Amino acid sequence: MRIAVVTGAGSGIGRSVALELARAGQDTAAGSAVRPKWAVALAGRRNESLEETAALIRDVRPDADVLCVPTDVTDPDAVAALFATVRERYGRLDLLFNNAGTFGPGGIRFEDMPFSAWRKVVDTNLNGAFLCAQAAFRQMKDQVPQGGRIINNGSVSAHAPRPNSAPYTATKHALTGLTKSLSLDGRPYSIACGQIDIGNAATEMTGAMQSGVLQANGELAPEPVMDAADVARTVRHMAELPLEANVQFVTVMATNMPFIGRG
């Protein structure tokens, strides 16, 4: 049994990844490799949303080992409590999917952006990712056998911004730096770190994409989206690699979204 922590697990990408991990270890076709089973600790702000995810997981795999831990990733004490709970229950940690994040306020020009809005996005997307990664890193370093994997949820905004997205874009660029640093600092301890950059997965956060979003030329235009399950399958592939191999960066995006050539 492998142990995973998924942050932002109450909805969207986090929920899809938790469900995908839950499918692992089920009976496979004759002659195919047996995948490892995962126990999944679900972290997020609202317990009711986590319980909804847990119920969906048990629908897929009735014997699933699921733990709901309400957590505010911007709070160092809450993050410490999350990983202490996981350590107490399971004794080790094999995967952190560092997924919790927010777009922040939409439609606000850079010159009008309140500092409070900037700080909320930074606290969630960057400081929260740091706190969770640090707690996971410490546990993976100290456990026997040593090692584990951290997968950071980046964005295509880590490569190219949308209009009026300075807080979100800045944090996703910073997350790329965190990913690279963790990859280097984790080498002596068999801790692998990679990043998945996602473009237009169909979730609650991207609901406006199909009705029309602001483009670089100032026009509003609808954009294609993809199933979040396609992202989840990629995360699962990254997670199930042996620690001797790592997907450092991968981009999964709606094929026809205006990203390549954007701007």
CA distances from 256 to 103, 157, 160, 199, 223 (A): 22, 16, 16, 10, 8
**152 close to 175: Cβ distance less than 8 angstroms:** yes
Question: What is the Cα–Cα distance from 211 to 232, expressed in whole angstroms?
Answer: 24
Question: What is the Cα–Cα distance from 263 to 260, expressed in whole angstroms?
Answer: 9
* Per-residue H/E/C for 18-65: HHHHHHCCCCCCCCCCCCCCEEEEEEECCHHHHHHHHHHHHHHCCCCC
Residue 168 is among the residues annotated as catalytic for this protein:
yes
Among candidates 141, 154, 124, 173, which has minimal Cα distance to 248? 154
Q: List the beta strands (DSSP E) in 118-219.
A: 148-153, 191-199, 201-202, 213-214
Question: What is the Cα–Cα distance from 53 to 61, expressed in whole angstroms?
Answer: 12
Active-site entry in 38, 130, 168, 259: 168
Q: Is 216 helix (H, G, I), strand (E, B) or coil?
A: coil
* Peptide bond preceding 258 in cis form (omega within 30 of 0): no
Question: Catalytic positions, please?
Answer: 168
